[in-house]
């Protein structure tokens, strides 16, 4: 799309598919780890979002398209495996909004990976809230927004620090 991104188009389709599958599997493992060891600070429905490490790092070290594809597959599979179809839809909305925001913020080149991750965490929660407001048709749900913003910030910053450490240690053009 843009020249700044290393284009995956020069690699063969088979290689791209294999890579995407590999990355989706990696992301799915993070989701699984989080199911096994939920870190929710005592507030139900709030979690760290460890799996967001994968698209974040891919975005910085590979290509946003790989990040998006792997994340989409991860969300659908994790939703169906661990939480059910309905929760998967919530997750999907949250992660799509979150991904879009992270992609745009990264593109501005004014934010560190920690800031990008923080915004991603916040908008993941807000995307889910938006779906909840539409489905439950309850605008009063907006009262949950402060909690969701703060928890999204905290989770995003923690994941962002992890991503920062990883990105620093990985080669600039991972797999490409």
Partner 1 sequence: MIASLRKADILLFFSFLALAALIAALPLVRVSGGSDEKVRIISGGELVGIYPLENDIEVEVKHDGHLNIVSIKDKKVYMEYSDCRNQICVHTGEITRPGDTIVCLPNYVIVEITGSEGGGDENDSVDVIAK
Q: Which residues bind partner 1 (CB under 8 A)?
A: 108, 110-115, 118-119, 122, 136-140, 142-143, 145-146, 149-150, 153, 161, 164-165
Q: Shortest Cβ distance from residue 156 to partner 1 (Å)? A: 9
Judged by beta carbon, residue 72 or residue 119, the one nearer partner 1 is 119
Least distance from C-beta 146 to partner 1, angstroms?
Answer: 4
CB–CB of 125/151 below 8 Å?
Answer: yes
Sign for the pseudo-dihedral over CA of 37, 96, 84, 139:
positive
Judged by beta carbon, residue 32 or residue 111, the one nearer partner 1 is 111
Joined tokens for residue 92: 């999907």
| CB closer to partner 1 out of 54 and 126 | 126
Least distance between partner 1 and beta carbon 150 (Å): 5
Nearer to partner 1, 29 or 133 (CB): 133
CA distance 112 to 114: 5
Burial of 127 (0-12, 13-18, 19+ CB in 10 A): buried
Q: For the CB of residue 139, give the shortest distance to partner 1 in the complex, in Å.
A: 5
3-class SS of residue 83: helix
Of residues 3 and 146, the one with the C-beta less far from partner 1: 146
User: Phi/psi class of residue 135: alpha, beta or left (left: φ > 0; alpha: ψ in -120 to 50)?
Assistant: alpha
- Please, where are the H alpha helices in the chain? 13-36, 53-61, 64-78, 85-108, 113-136, 145-169
The least distance separating partner 1 from the CB of residue 167, rounded to whole angstroms, comes to 10
């Amino acid at each position: 799309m843009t020249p700044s991104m290393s284009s995956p188009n020069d690699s063969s389709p088979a290689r791209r598919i294999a890579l995407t599958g590999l990355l989706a599997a990696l992301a799915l493992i993070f989701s699984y780890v989080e199911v096994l060891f939920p870190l929710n600070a005592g507030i139900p429905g709030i979690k760290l979002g460890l799996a967001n490490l994968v698209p974040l790092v891919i975005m910085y070290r590979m290509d946003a398209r790989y990040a998006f594809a792997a994340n989409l597959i991860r969300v659908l599979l994790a939703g169906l495996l661990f939480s059910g179809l309905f929760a998967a839809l919530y997750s999907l909305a949250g992660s799509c909004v979150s991904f879009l925001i992270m992609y745009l913020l990264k593109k501005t080149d004014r934010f560190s990976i920690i800031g990008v991750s923080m915004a991603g965490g916040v908008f993941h929660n807000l995307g889910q809230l938006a779906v909840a407001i539409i489905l439950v048709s309850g605008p009063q749900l907006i009262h949950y927004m402060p909690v969701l913003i703060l928890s999204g910030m905290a989770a995003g910053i923690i994941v962002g620090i992890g991503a920062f450490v990883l990105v620093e240690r990985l080669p600039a053009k991972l797999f490409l």
